[in-house]
Structure 1
Amino acid sequence: MVKAGKLGLIMLGVAGVALACAIRYAWQPSIEPLLAPAPTGADTALVAHGEQVAEVGDCMYCHTANREKPFAGGMPLDTPFGVIYSTNITPDPDTGIGRWPLDAFTRALREGVSRDGHLLYPAFPYPHFTKMSDSDIAALYAYLMSVAPVSAPAHPNDLRFPLNFRPLVAGWNLLYLKTGELQPPDRSESPAWLRGRYLVEGAAHCASCHTPMNALGAEKNGEAFAGNLIDSWNAPPLNALTRAPKPWTHTQLVDYLRTGLASEHGAAAGPMLPVTQHLGNAPESDVEAIATYLMSLQPPPAPAQPASSREKASRTDDASAQSIRGGTLFASSCAGCHASEAPMREIGGSPALGLSSVLTSDSPRDAIHLVLQGNPWNGSATAHYMPPFADVLDDDQVDDLLAYLRTQYAQRPVWKDVSRTTAAIRKEIPQP
């Protein structure tokens, strides 16, 4: 009993120290505002450099809710703790960052602190931006100060109590924010690898989506790039690309990142589609460097699955009524573009369905999303690379169709609970 009492006192003391530290870091001093926006537009080279940084960082996607008002914020970001709305990062003096000096902008990226001293939520990936160089931050600042100012007040966040109490972020920062530049690697690496590592770990913040999160919303230690769930889509592991049915190559990865299409793997969709659209505007050498670094994270290719076991699974499921129904749906709704002899498959550059990462995934979520929502053509709001079928197929029909595709093309066992998952995803689709 005495030992238990001492342990309780120790734990209480530790909690008190942690609370004191959190309070100490919860309120940061404000930085004096500019009387007028910084005149950065004249330095065209610096602004152009900053635009490239913004493309690599995909800044516009998260900070744009209305395409006619780029960087004006208002984009809802779903988190396990509620909805956070992105803020206005145009140079509007009253609702944007027009009165922010460079040192305030730098502090926000490196420490997650706003100009007025309040803490930013780590949905803004400052744990990665902290690794950015002074020159890249200054260039990004110059670019954002050159875009058209938009008056757009911040949308109130919708977070659950007590997570809506910003000072708690100080404790999160004490646990998970590691400021400072990347440490040199243990071994000699090529300039392309070093550049790719800098971009992936910094401005591109790839791990923010592709790493599992712990209960506090931080990236799990020891599981970098092991995959995650983002906006109901799978963010696949980036450290298992060579385990695909046809292992990824550097060339295929560069094609995918720059164009959104890899001829041997599939097309970008969901949250990844805008990433590829912006990387398509980034310097090609930077995208090649990103691919160089990511390919260095891969294990050896997995041994090929014996054909006999694949064929056995296929034959077993092909005999089922579900597969027959799915085959009928494929013939009527999909074969025009996806059958091996379909002209549209050649025109669109679509990969063979048996190689599609969506169909060979362990989870059906991305396949369901694509069937229901389709895939826009190069970000178009009206043209589609693949049309949506949410109004054509019901949940059970989606289940039948995917069972057919899994067994006939991916040669894998059917996914479980597809109808139920489809119903849940259907409810998440924004209504026009």
Structure 2
Amino acid sequence: MKARTVAKTLGGVAVLGVLFCIWLMWEPAIAPVKPSMPADKAAVARGRMVLEAGDCAVCHTAPGGKYLAGSLPLKTPFGTLYTTNITPDSETGIGQWSEAAFSRAMRDGVARDGHLLYPAFPYVHYRKMSDHDISDLYAYLMSVDPVSQTPPPNRMMFPMNFRPLVAFWNLLFRHGDPLEDQPGQSAQWNRGRYLVEGPGHCSSCHTPLNFIGAEKGGSDHFAGSIIDGWTAPPLAGLSTAINPWTQGELVAYLRGEVAPNHGAAAGPMLPVTHGMATMPLADVEAMATYLLSFAEAQPVAGACKNPSFGALQPASQLSQIEQQGAALFAGSCSGCHGDAATMRRLDDRPDLGHSSALLAGTPRNLVKAVLEGIPMSVGAPSHYMPPFADNLSDQQIAAIAQYLRGQYCPSQPWGNLSQTVTQIRQEEK
């Protein structure tokens, strides 16, 4: 009798658990609507600025693909996701989505038909956006050319390929409301906070994730992460770093230009700056004001503490590998990066001693830039760099990196450079 009672109790608990899961995961579909062109041209124009602030085209336009038609692969620790088509196509895009359906997707991560979106779509940040901005963004998206294109199927690992599990993720991390201005802060600071924390979702790339893919909090907020093989550097303490950022330099960097004492954007940050270059200057200045207000939460491991901005080591003091790196640099790099290079004078490139990639705690971004190069920028001046993956071996790139680090941060050399270069090159295969 006792065993039967226990079995019934466990069975009842199991049934309640299943019902709770069904309740947690179920989201109703929202009725489709007929696509229509928005009538408010001012809303469309404002919506385009919201789209640029949110980097929407960066993720929803594949290289060489149609604008906002999706299919860009996003590599995550749990597998590869393909971005969705957000053009107003009726069958493969969001043409049948009402504004209410669009707003629910932006804030709750739920598609029109009720299925849960993966949180690689940063709806936890878009929850902080105003109703007005979401409405304007919807108006803009409904105004672009529809494209018929279905993204490839996602390739997620078990158990993350079981989409209803996202409901439990939402239970833990989907919270927050539209941001309100902080009293005691300037209007510019509050505007920057809204853009950075809301549509810009900057911490999605610049904050490390926990084991289930949510952003860490506390001192880890804006502490840096790895995106597409590149280091997304910490954003805390920019104004108090060994090589500090000024307002003007950060604004130039964010707008795709060359920051005189730091360098310019590369890797996944480069297309983001292309979009920000079209934003109102006042908005980019507001973002810089907010970002420069962060105090450094924790020291960055391995970052150069005593850079050599002026005097370089004489050739007689270089190791054999550094001498090899110096010779390779002279032959492959000095035409653009040498002290007497014409390119330095033409496009205001900083000396490499001020490069954030060379002063970082890891050689990852320097190696990635050498391997992949930097595409031609829409900013002015351009900071194009050709790729050297097919021209230089891993050992040669390691020698150049060791030479440059030794010149500009001799007290903190990078270790295991050849192994690091090989690993980074293999990540792309």
Task: Tell whether the structures are fold-level matches, with TM greater than 0.5.
Answer: yes
Q: Report if aligned partners of 2:315, 2:323 keep a CA contact under 8 Å in 1.
A: no
Which one of 240, 249, 254 corresponds to residue 252 of structure 1?
249
Which one of 51, 56, 60 corresponds to residue 59 of structure 1?
56
Q: Report if aligned partners of 2:347, 2:383 keep a CA contact under 8 Å in 1.
A: no
Letter in 2 for 1:214: N
State the distance in 2 between where 1:417 and 1:17 align: 55
Q: 1:106 to 1:412 in 2, by over 3 A?
A: farther
Residue 5 of structure 2 corresponds to none
Q: Deviations over 1:96-153 (max 9, x none)?
A: 0000000000000000000000000000000000111011000000101111100011
Comparing 96-105 and 383-392, the one that deviates more:
383-392
Letter in 2 for 1:337: C
Q: Deviations over 1:5-48 (max 9, x none)?
A: xxxx99x97x99887544322120000000x21331x3211100
Q: Deviations over 1:326-365 (max 9, x none)?
A: 1111111111111111111111221111000000000111
- Where in structure 2 are there 5+ consecutive unaligned residues? 1-8
Residue 128 of structure 1 corresponds to 125
Residue 77 of structure 2 corresponds to 80
Q: Report if aligned partners of 1:61, 1:274 keep a CA contact under 8 Å in 2.
A: yes
Task: Kindly report which structure 2 residues correspond to 1:16-95, keeping only aligned pairs within 5 A, or say none.
Answer: 21-34=20-33, 36-40=34-38, 42-95=39-92
Letter in 2 for 1:48: A
Q: Deviations over 1:354-405 (max 9, x none)?
A: 000000000111000111111111169xx97111111111001111100000
Letter in 1 for 2:396: Q
Q: Report if aligned partners of 2:237, 2:292 keep a CA contact under 8 Å in 1.
A: no
Shift of 1:177: 1.0
Q: 1:18 to 1:396 in 2, by over 3 A?
A: farther
Task: Kindly report which structure 2 residues correspond to 1:325-336, keeping only aligned pairs within 5 A, or say none.
Answer: 325-336=324-335
Residue 341 of structure 1 corresponds to 340
Shift of 1:80: 0.2
TM-score (norm 2): 0.90
Which one of 185, 207, 216 corresponds to residue 212 of structure 2?
216
State the distance in 2 between where 1:53 and 1:260 align: 21
Residue 204 of structure 1 corresponds to 200
Task: Kindly report which structure 2 residues correspond to 1:80-229, keeping only aligned pairs within 5 A, or say none.
Answer: 80-185=77-182, 187-222=183-218, 223-229=220-226
Q: Report if aligned partners of 1:242, 1:300 keep a CA contact under 8 Å in 2.
A: no
Q: Report if aligned partners of 1:212, 1:219 keep a CA contact under 8 Å in 2.
A: yes
Residue aligned with 2:368, SS: helix
Residue aligned with 1:259, SS: coil
Q: Report if aligned partners of 2:106, 2:123 keep a CA contact under 8 Å in 1.
A: yes
Letter in 1 for 2:343: M
Q: 1:66 to 1:353 in 2, by over 3 A?
A: closer
Residue 5 of structure 1 corresponds to none
Residue 407 of structure 1 corresponds to 406
Residue 377 of structure 2 corresponds to 378
Letter in 2 for 1:258: R
Letter in 1 for 2:60: H
Shift of 1:428: 3.5
Task: Kindly report which structure 2 residues correspond to 1:297-376, keeping only aligned pairs within 5 A, or say none.
Answer: 297-299=294-296, 318-376=317-375
Comparing 127-136 and 239-248, the one that deviates more:
239-248
TM-score (norm 1): 0.89
Q: Report if aligned partners of 2:68, 2:87 keep a CA contact under 8 Å in 1.
A: yes
Q: 1:212 to 1:307 in 2, by over 3 A?
A: closer
Residue aligned with 2:226, SS: strand
State the distance in 2 between where 1:147 and 1:285 align: 26
Letter in 2 for 1:116: D
Q: 1:379 to 1:317 in 2, by over 3 A?
A: farther
How many positions carry a matched residue from both structures? 412
Shift of 1:58: 0.7
Residue aligned with 1:132, SS: coil
Shift of 1:298: 2.9
Residue aligned with 2:275, SS: helix
Residue aligned with 1:234, SS: strand
Residue aligned with 1:386, SS: coil
Letter in 1 for 2:36: A
Q: Report if aligned partners of 1:22, 1:168 keep a CA contact under 8 Å in 2.
A: no
Q: 1:396 to 1:318 in 2, by over 3 A?
A: farther
State the distance in 2 between where 1:220 and 1:32 align: 36
Residue aligned with 2:80, SS: strand
Shift of 1:410: 3.8
Letter in 1 for 2:387: P
Comparing 329-338 and 421-430, the one that deviates more:
421-430
Residue 418 of structure 1 corresponds to 417
What fraction of aligned residue pairs are identical, expressed as a percent?
Answer: 51
Confirm whether residue 267 of structure 1 aligns to residue 264 of structure 2: yes
State the distance in 1 between where 2:386 and 2:214 align: 36
State the distance in 2 between where 1:18 and 1:203 align: 36
Q: 1:305 to 1:162 in 2, by over 3 A?
A: closer
Q: 1:68 to 1:169 in 2, by over 3 A?
A: closer
Q: Deviations over 1:230-268 (max 9, x none)?
A: 111000000021354420011111111012421110110
State the distance in 1 between where 2:409 and 2:215 align: 31
State the distance in 2 between where 1:413 and 1:16 align: 60
- Where in structure 1 are there 5+ consecutive unaligned residues? 1-8
State the distance in 1 between where 2:102 and 2:305 align: 52
Letter in 2 for 1:207: S
State the distance in 1 between where 2:322 and 2:260 align: 27
Letter in 2 for 1:155: P
Q: 1:29 to 1:417 in 2, by over 3 A?
A: same
Q: Deviations over 1:262-319 (max 9, x none)?
A: 11101100010011000000111111110111111134999x96689x98x9689943
